[in-house]
């Protein structure tokens, strides 16, 4: 049995309700169903006790990259989150996490190496300085982003550079104490869209999401124009741990 099962108390598992309400149970390897998104998240502090196991699973290239960080905390966090990714994927694939191989697309988005795995599993990883979040689904491309909402963050300069007039207007229309969360909702949504489409950073400037935003978090199918091409997305927003916000986007309407 994959050793991840013994770590489930440290990992929060949620299912985005898209037709299958079940989540993996302790000790039982349950495949993620088509049309279902499993979301695994954890605080770095809770992953720490399993550092030796996670570090054993990483490839030589991953360990070299971890060693390249200037700060030891950043290096340790890299090992924890990438070890977690391997452990979770090994859980679904029924394979040794250390033997899983990855490939990168033209924009750097990681995926399972098709020569190493015939699985149709898709995944997306995101993190802050405190928390790690991993989305798992089948067949549909997926983009996930998690941010920490910082009320004193100097977001005005960034929104003037990266956000559309409609998005800046939507932020300004919010109550003063809600403008920060509006900024980070747009930021994380654009990051998720960038990941799911495999696009470059131009998405942050060129795509306007103001037409679908409301005071309520999004949870459904929405049409957006990506570089003059109308595309349909499933978008799900949710708080994710104290002071954090998470957005999931998939290209397939599920």
Average pLDDT, integer, range 238-250: 91
pLDDT at 69: 95
164 secondary structure, DSSP code: -
pLDDT at 27: 40
Cross-strand bridge partners of residue 135: 39, 124
Do the domains 3-139 and 146-250 sit in the same CATH topology, yes or no?
yes
Tokens at residue 24, please? 């993996």
pLDDT per residue as tens digits for the range 204-213: 788 899 999 9
pLDDT of residue 254 exceeding 50: no
pLDDT at 21: 39
Cross-strand bridge partners of residue 40: 13, 134
User: For residue 138, what is the enclosing H or E element?
Assistant: strand 131-138
Residue 229's φ and ψ, nearest 5 degrees, are: -115, 125
Average pLDDT, integer, range 63-72: 96
Average pLDDT, integer, range 223-230: 83
pLDDT of residue 75 exceeding 60: yes
Which architecture, in CATH terms, is 3-139?
A: Alpha-Beta Complex (3.90)
Tell me the domain boundaries of the chain: 3-139, 146-250
DSSP code string of 166-225 = HHHHHHHHS-GGGHHHHHHHHHHHHHHHHHHHT--THHHHH---TTT--SSPPEEEEEEE
Q: Which has more confidence, 186 or 33?
A: 186
Mean pLDDT check: name the lowest of 9-18, 45-54, 66-75, 85-94.
9-18
Q: Which has more confidence, 227 or 80?
A: 80
For the 146-250 domain, the top CATH level (class) is: alpha beta
User: For residue 64, what is the enclosing H or E element?
Assistant: helix 60-67
């Amino acid at each position: 049995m994959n050793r991840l099962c013994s770590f489930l108390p440290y990992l929060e598992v949620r299912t985005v309700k898209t037709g299958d309400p079940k989540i993996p149970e302790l000790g039982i390897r349950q495949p993620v169903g088509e049309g279902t998104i499993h979301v695994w998240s954890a605080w770095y502090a809770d992953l720490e006790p399993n550092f030796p196991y996670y570090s054993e699973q990483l490839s030589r290239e991953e360990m070299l990259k971890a060693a390249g960080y200037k700060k030891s905390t950043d290096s340790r966090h890299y090992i924890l989150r990438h070890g977690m990714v391997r452990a979770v994927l090994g859980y679904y694939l029924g394979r040794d996490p250390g033997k899983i191989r990855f490939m990168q697309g033209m924009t750097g988005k990681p995926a399972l190496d098709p020569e190493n795995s015939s699985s149709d599993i898709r995944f997306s990883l995101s993190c802050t300085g405190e928390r790690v979040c991993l989305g798992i689904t089948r067949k549909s491309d997926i983009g996930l982003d998690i941010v920490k909402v910082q009320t004193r963050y100097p977001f005005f300069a960034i929104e003037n550079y990266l956000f559309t007039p409609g998005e800046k207007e939507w932020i300004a229309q919010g109550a003063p104490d809600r403008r920060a969360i509006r900024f980070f909702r747009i930021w994380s949504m654009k990051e998720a869209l960038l990941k799911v489409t495999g696009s470059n950073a131009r998405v942050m400037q060129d795509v306007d999401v103001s037409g679908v935003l409301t005071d309520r978090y999004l949870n459904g199918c929405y049409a957006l124009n990506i570089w003059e091409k109308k595309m349909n997305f499933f978008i799900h927003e949710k708080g994710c741990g104290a002071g954090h916000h998470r957005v999931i986007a998939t290209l397939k309407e599920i």
